[in-house]
Amino acid sequence: MERQLIRAIVVALALTGISAGQGGRTFTGVITDSECSTADHAHMRMGPTDAECVNACISEHGGSYLLFDGRRVYALSNQKAPEKFAAQKVTITGTLDDKGTTIQVDSIRLAK
């Protein structure tokens, strides 16, 4: 009986650790858009700065905000919060979906 109780506690603690780890993951990269997903705005140049290009691609071309970490591109669940961080390096806290393509955004802040 005591072994079963210990085993149940160990399993519960392991599951708690797994779920807590998934919710608080951080991602660092540049806020860009679906028209210039690798943050290279040279081919679009929708304004004098990269930030203006990102926001123009969103508003004028129906693009969406993305995070590019230098290797991978992630879609963002929140499309309002990234607006003020266009073309800037940020740290996003959130959860990655099962496919590994979309971040469920909890918070965004400028990267240090």
Say how far apart CA 97 and CA 77 lie, in whole Å: 10
Q: How confident is the model at residue 23 (pLDDT cuts 50, 70, 90)?
A: low
The CATH label, of 3.30.450, 3.40.50, 3.30.70, 2.40.50, for the domain at 24-110 is 2.40.50
What does the block give as tokens for 93? 């806290």
- CB burial string 16-25: b at 16+ within 10 A, e below: eeeeeeeeee
Domain ranges of the chain: 24-110
Q: How confident is the model at residue 111 (pLDDT cuts 50, 70, 90)?
A: very high
pLDDT tens-digit readout, 29-82:
999 999 877 666 556 666 678 899 899 989 888 999 999 999 999 999 999 999
